[in-house]
Structure 1
Amino acid sequence: MSSLRSRPSPLAGQATAAAPRHVAVIMDGNGRWARARGKPIMAGHRAGAEAVRRCVKGAIENGVRYLTLYAFSSENWHRAAEEVSDLTSLLRFYLRHKVVELHEQKVRLDFIGDLSRFDRGLREEMERARALTAHNTRLTLILALSYGARNDVARAARDMALAAAKGEIDPASINETAFRAFLQTSPFPDPDLIVRTSGERRLSNFLLWESAYAELAFLDVMWPDFTEADFAALMADFAGRERRYGKRLAPDGAL
């Protein structure tokens, strides 16, 4: 899917999906954006951080209640040490200096991922941000940091097995709902829409369990160039989709 800015509006009378409650974004293209401009990679990450602010604004303006951003994957630890250091420093700066802005917008901030891999000071910044914004209700912004979906599924299976071994749960009662309660994402609804920028068309170990019935959108725009207009176009495109969850629709749109 190319940029949605020129996509036509949904046809009148077509069965459409409700506005997405939860949007998840794979923010891709910072490095290529920087290289195309002859700039260091860190310049792309800084520009990408500004795109996050525009994305949050777009989510609020369009009534989205949950926004998950894939900010740092478990695989990102394998990047050059200098880039990892720059990324964590940028995260520390925004947690220390920009969370008040989110709080003023009534945005609640939360995190998923293996946060134990970050240093103690950064984890403390995360906890302060989480505590400050805990009672906000306009939008829940979830940052996926040191996150990998396969790792979370494996950890959830391990924790469930330990609970069963201790007699805390009956193995015969294990089903999808019971398993989901052990995932880090259990406090949040599954995403309705997953977006990836930069033209890549894969999930890259992001919300694999939770994305079972999510709609997917792939944009050619690099993440640092993402705007509120792109977010609005995604909402218009989503509104024209039929969400059947494996069920067949009759010609008139009825199940």
Structure 2
Amino acid sequence: MESLKESIISQKLPRHIAIIMDGNGRWAKEKGQDRLYGHFHGVESVRTIVEGCAELGIGYLTLYAFSTENWDRPEQEVTGLMELLVETIRKEVDTLNKNNIRLHVIGNMEMLPAYAQNELNEALSLTSKNTGLNLVMALSYSSRWEMVNAVKNIAIDVKNGKVDPQSITQDTLQQYLCTSNFPDPELMIRTSGEYRISNFLLYQLAYAELYFTPVRWPDFSKEHLYEAIIDFQNRERRFGKTSAQIEQEDGDADQLVSR
């Protein structure tokens, strides 16, 4: 694992990593256990990956913890997930503060039970002064909900004369998204072998590098994180430009550094 870590180029780290933590239920089923058993062990992977990102110096880590579609799951599972969420946050606040990690939440928090909202709000307040890794939990979140909500709020501000419709740009829309205070993800990881992004940060992932792994989330380790980052660093990110243009820009940047 250390050799993998040493292969990572610190100057080329993704500023923001987003992860779809998939496979808890299937991992549990393979072990003859119920789905909540998988979610419980998935929390251990969250701790491991948060620690790994903080050690590397990643600026932002967004974890897709619970989607708006997940409310349609069996009531017992949803209740268990909410209780696990509250219990985990309560236990982890001290560790977050010790490691200078700031917690953020994106999503429709109004859909969460009152006790979960209270616990989250307390954790947000207690970690608000931390300046290290920004840990963003996507809870009761879906990208389509986010964009509809953004359009509604823009429409309200247009109606109230706060926004000129002729001046609306991409930057305007971004200011109304849940992620307005965060840079767009550069690397998106999905575990458990599914090749889709499942209504997750649809707008923000426009130029992200996508990395899919068959590893179930409870088995996802720092080693797997390092592999994903190394894969990211070996890709050429062109943003619509040609390879020649990117090479020229890199060459110009190197010359500026050497002066």
Q: Does residue 85 of the first structure (1) align with residue 79 of the second (2)?
A: yes
Q: Does residue 177 of the first structure (1) align with residue 171 of the second (2)?
A: yes
Match of 2:243, SS state, is coil
**Percent identical residues:** 44
Figure out how many residues of one structure are paired with residues of the other and give that number: 244
Match of 2:204, SS state, is coil
- Residue in structure 1 matching 2:65, options 71, 86, 92: 71
Q: Which residue of 1 is the match for residue 237 of structure 2?
A: 243
Q: CA deviation at 1:148?
A: 0.3
Q: Which residue of 2 is the match for residue 101 of structure 1?
A: 95
Instruction: Tell me, yes or no, if the aligned pair for 1:62 and 1:235 is still in contact at 8 Å.
Output: no
Q: Which residue of 2 is the match for residue 34 of structure 1?
A: 28
For the residues of structure 1 that align with 2:74 and 2:248, how far apart are their CA atoms? 53
> Relative to structure 2, which stretch is displaced further, 56-65 or 219-228?
56-65
Match of 2:110, SS state, is helix
TM-score (ref. length: structure 2): 0.91
Decide which structure has greater helix share.
Answer: 2
> Relative to structure 2, which stretch is displaced further, 70-79 or 236-245?
236-245
Instruction: Tell me, yes or no, if the aligned pair for 1:65 and 1:139 is still in contact at 8 Å.
Output: yes
Unaligned residue ranges in structure 1 (runs of 5+):
11-16
For the residues of structure 2 that align with 1:94 and 1:169, how far apart are their CA atoms? 41
Query: What do you get for the CA RMSD once the two structures are aligned?
Result: 1.8
> Relative to structure 2, which stretch is displaced further, 243-252 or 87-96?
243-252
For the residues of structure 2 that align with 1:19 and 1:247, how far apart are their CA atoms? 21
Match of 1:23, SS state, is strand
Letter in structure 2 aligned against 1:53: R
For the residues of structure 1 that align with 2:135 and 2:30, how far apart are their CA atoms? 30
For the residues of structure 1 that align with 2:167 and 2:147, how far apart are their CA atoms? 18
What are the superposed Cα offsets for residues 129-167 of structure 1, whole Å, 9 maximum, x if unpaired? 001111111100000000000010011001001100110
Q: Which residue of 2 is the match for residue 112 of structure 1?
A: 106
Letter in structure 1 aligned against 2:58: V
Letter in structure 2 aligned against 1:124: N
Q: CA deviation at 1:68?
A: 0.2
Letter in structure 1 aligned against 2:243: L
Unaligned residue ranges in structure 2 (runs of 5+):
250-259
Letter in structure 1 aligned against 2:23: G
Q: Does residue 142 of the first structure (1) align with residue 136 of the second (2)?
A: yes
- Residue in structure 2 matching 1:159, options 131, 150, 153: 153
For the residues of structure 2 that align with 1:85 and 1:227, how far apart are their CA atoms? 27
TM-score (ref. length: structure 1): 0.92
- Residue in structure 2 matching 1:193, options 145, 164, 187: 187
Q: Which residue of 2 is the match for residue 14 of structure 1?
A: none
